[in-house]
Amino acid sequence: DAKTTQPPSMDCAEGRAANLPCNHSTISGNEYVYWYRQIHSQGPQYIIHGLKNNETNEMASLIITEDRKSSTLILPHATLRDTAVYYCIVRSQGTYSGAGSYQLTFGKGTKLSVIP
């Protein structure tokens, strides 16, 4: 899986859009960009994923650059409940073989603090 780089921390005012960047310059053609988050003491939560087109769901939007070397997760109206560590992960959807390829590897992520 390609390596990702994220800023260690960010602040965002409540009600404003939170834009979380991720660099993945070594991404290969069959690798997707996934975003998860982990709110303190809770299980990781899947947010969104995409291959090359921008994606939107009820939680967030994912913007992937044309060269696919970076992406941005957008939380359109951040609330205090969005305070969490956000992880950008790049991986293929298949074919999987061996334990190492099944494991979901989280890096250090970005600690997003939503400020009242």
Q: Which residues pair with 95 in a beta bridge?
A: none
Indicate whether 97 belongs to the interface with another protein (CB under 8 A). Answer: yes
Encoding tokens for residue 112? Answer: 């997003």
Q: Which residue from 75, 76, 87 is spatially nearest to 33, judged by alpha carbons? A: 87
Indicate whether 30 belongs to the interface with another protein (CB under 8 A). Answer: no
Indicate whether 41 belongs to the interface with another protein (CB under 8 A). Answer: yes
- For the bound state, the minimum distance from the C-beta of residue 13 to another protein, rounded and expressed in Å, comes to 29
- For the bound state, the minimum distance from the C-beta of residue 19 to another protein, rounded and expressed in Å, comes to 22
Counting residues that bind another protein (by CB under 8 A) gives: 21
Burial code (b: 16+ CB inside 10 Å, e: under 16) for 92-107 equals eeeeeeeeeeeeeeee
- For the bound state, the minimum distance from the C-beta of residue 111 to another protein, rounded and expressed in Å, comes to 14
Indicate whether 111 belongs to the interface with another protein (CB under 8 A). Answer: no
Handedness of CA 53, 90, 32, 77 (dihedral sign): negative
* Contact positions vs another protein (CB under 8 A): 34, 41-46, 49, 93-97, 99-100, 102-107
